[in-house]
Structure 1
């Protein structure tokens, strides 16, 4: 299967995974990006079996609404049963790098609220050590240069993502040349830099389940268990 087919396979697997959990009052968290878009299309087939969704970006919200799926403000819901989203990288502990689509802050918020975080990815995203994919950092615009200097001190090579403004009105720095062997510690360290909104390490709140698409189909990998 090519990469598009793998993405479709994991999106379908995610819909099948959550289907038995859905009830009339269920709220589903939905991520952002090409794989999440395919999941939204699959979720449309389950419309009517759950209450609605919360979305991690304006783009995802529009796609959900186009399918006739209700989208709620996160402040208006009491509970999110499950959050389904893709990743740019994942390690064996299901710590992730996310934010290639510049939606990392809202993604991190929805993931924090959700009872269960299901990551969907193709096998190319599985890495022994995070950091080959540049780590996105969302920053308050006036702090961009200050944050960049601090990231250099951490051994990174930050690059301003030209022409990109997040849904929150902020800038993105993509940090190259990191080998992230202690992702929880680095996530906290970067978040403590004044001017950082958040960074794309999802390690303190990692995925609970990874649906990983490969040549032999879709593997279900749970945090703490590793690949069989």
Structure 2
């Protein structure tokens, strides 16, 4: 947020952010939800509220033939409240893909890699995103960063088996993550937050993650203990730690590059502070 924006009263700042989310959501739905689509993934988070609003605004004449697949309880409630058809990803027939999935992010870098999991739904979110032919990210201007870990300082969310958490924390320290910790429960709840899958979340801060183009500038990941990693190398190392179920790095290839299983969005829509919408990646279908 710029100096002029940060000088705004808190209430006006909040209104600006919410309006930017709404604008990005409506533009993304306009560009990527074709009337012929029948299976749509709906993610989690505050921006997804506006995605569902945009879909519902199309009217039942268009949405009655569509079925919507949530990533968790929040998106399930949004789908039902909007009067849209609800189904579950566990019931999606083998070999079938979602036409498109919409979801938010905690941070997005220049190559459209994402950090997700601030709301502790990262495993379900990745399953739904990877089940879609194309995944579209919707966010506000605060989520746009040159490198992951630049603005999002809370760390990479890692979903772990509770019994493995101490060992994973030890490994993260050896990998150069300073301040990795088990995410606590909500205020008034003792102990760790428990995901829908009965797991815990570890938040692991790292130095901003490098991209392939950084090597051209003479920037390179050093040895493991330095804590300096590329996105792909860190993701590969984290997912291989015993006891780790899933990680909040969405990386690799997009649905434009592979036929199935893509984690990276084909496009990211950012509502900007000036009322515009910035699109990174593919635009309209």
- TM-score > 0.5 by shorter chain: yes
Counterpart in the other structure of 1:59: 74
1:41 positional shift = 2.0
Structure ranking higher in strand proportion: 1
2:130 aligned counterpart, secondary structure: helix
- 1:96 corresponds, among 82, 89, 114, to 114
1:163-183 residue CA offsets vs partner (Å, 9 max, x unmatched): 121111111111124321111
Match in the other structure for 2:205 = 176
1:42 aligns with 2:42: no
Tell me, yes or no, if structure 1 residue 139 matches structure 2 residue 197. Answer: no
Unaligned runs of 5+ in 1: none
| Structure-1 residue corresponding to 2:128 | 110
CA contact (8 A) 1:94 1:206 kept: yes
After the TM superposition, list the runs of 4 or more consecutive aligned residues in structure 1 that deviate by more than 4 angstroms: none
For residues 89 and 100 of structure 1, the distance between their equivalents in structure 2, rounded to whole angstroms, comes to: 10
The counterpart of 2:28, out of the listed 14, 24, 32, is 14
1:8 to partner: Cα distance: 1.0
- What are the superposed Cα offsets for residues 70-123 of structure 1, whole Å, 9 maximum, x if unpaired? 221213222201111111111111000011111100111111110011101112
Please give the alpha-carbon distance, in whole angstroms, between the structure 2 residues aligned to 1:22 and 1:186.
39
Corresponding residue for 2:104?
86
- For the 8 Å contact 2:21–2:139, the answer to whether it is kept is yes
Distance of 2:232 and 2:128 partners within structure 1:
18
Kept in 2, the 8 Å contact 1:159–1:176? The answer is no
Q: Displacement of 1:46 after TM fit?
A: 2.9
| Secondary structure in 2 matching 1:198 | strand
The answer for unaligned runs of 5 or more in structure 2 is 1-14, 186-192, 211-229, 253-262
1:161 aligns with 2:171: no
Count of equivalent residues: 222
Compare CA radii of gyration and give the structure with the larger one: 2
Aligned residue in 2 for 1:185: 233
Distance 1:22 1:187, change over 3 A: farther
State the match for 1:31 in structure 2.
43
